[in-house]
Structure 1
Amino acid sequence: MTAIEIVSAEARRRLAAAEAAEFRAAALDGLHAGLPTAELIDLAIHRLFPGRIAVVSSFGAESAVLLDLVAEVSTSVPILFVDTEKLFEETLRHRDRLVERLGFTDVRTLRPDPVAVAATDADGWLWHTDPDACCALRKVAPLARAIEGFDAWISGRKRFQAATRTAIPTFEADGRRIKVNPLAAWTPEAIAERVRARDLPAHPLVEKGFPSIGCLPCTSRVAPGEDPRAGRWRGKAKTECGIHLGLGAGDDNDGSGI
């Protein structure tokens, strides 16, 4: 078999796997999208993808709610956290506080490849000159590598968060994997009620005007009445870091197509 034939066969394999994931995600969404959130999370962790699913968390403004729900089902499920090395110190402290409070035993902190950083962002200013490339280097690629060993992952995305998220399903395909969005239909009021009922710790930056929190250089305060994500990449057309636009590792590319 020639090199071209090998590449072609691999491309067909990836396409077939992605198509199978699309079909399965649609079927799962039709069957289970209406389940209560706790039942949905339990189903995903213990029955649909036992030992093959991870939770991806930014430990951001609303992360406590999803993590609290997950902890009621399992404290041993892997929690994947990307430290871009550009985060607020408050986010790192919030992570440590939540992990201790909820009792997770397998929290994996992911960091960008130092060789790649030295080659493409040695001065640390890539976020300013090319924010898409910075996200690909510091967030998308590390998560893509870490997710390689899993068949599914759980995200905390919600439809109310942004115009780009209004139609997200509960189950969706992400390359050959299934992404589960158990909070997709939750409202801001439901989030706030869960926080109050469970006395969950708030991210310390929320009360300072940061309702959506990413990396320090690319996150600004949001004025009253603004879209909650208006402070992310302010002044740019960019609205997503890229991890929800297809991770790509083992599927399509290196995650840079954001």
Structure 2
Amino acid sequence: MSQKLSNKVAVVTGGTSGIGLAIAKRFAQEGAKVAVTGRNQKSIDQAVAEIGANGLGIQGDVSSLADLTRIYQTVADHFGKVDTLVVNAGVYILGPLADFTEDQFDQVSDINFKGAFFSVQKALPVLNDGASVVLISSTVNAKGVPNHAAYSATKAAVRSLARSFSAELLDRKIRVNALTPGPVDTPVFATVAGSPEGAAAMKEAMGNFTPVKRVAEASELAAAALYLASDDSSFMLGAELLLDGGVREL
């Protein structure tokens, strides 16, 4: 059985847990050399151990342009040019409009929007012509949900970047698409809820919010990311692949 990413080089930002780690592991299984980024060295080391021999971990903050430049130089030094970039690093910060603080706004904007924009810009010198870029958005990019105003706006911006970047990079045949999940079973539930019991309750509530009455598995997002990264999606650019259990459409 042929591997879809044989001899390819991939970078996954925010690749140490959840969706990002699932994508990195799937890409490695499909033959890619995979570099993952994160802010915590222990988490990076654990992720690389799971990815295997073709994994590389690089510590850095996607909201720092200096860090991004260093990240891509490190990837180039180890693996050469990049064939696939998955912009996954993000934060999930919620709060009511009346109480949302400037610090919260800056944090979610710096990581989710600024980080996504410059993760692509700083990658341009090391991206191969014909590369695929996958931007992780969210189904709330086009749906009004209480307490999600700032987060939703950043993910709508990410969706927009897929169009604009694709238009700008046509001459290099670099495809940029958005992968847009609904609720996914990741450690974010525990982070937001603050306890195992709260995480379980949040997962159940999020699942009940979908028409299919469950949250997605990270492996399902990884399969979709593989499609966007591979030649199977060569006719797809500036588009959005929606995996949200029917939340938006039903």
Which range, TM-score by smaller chain?
0.3 to 0.5
- TM-score, normalised by the number of residues in structure 2: 0.35
- Structure 1 or 2, whichever has the larger Rg, is 1
TM-score calculated relative to the size of structure 1: 0.34
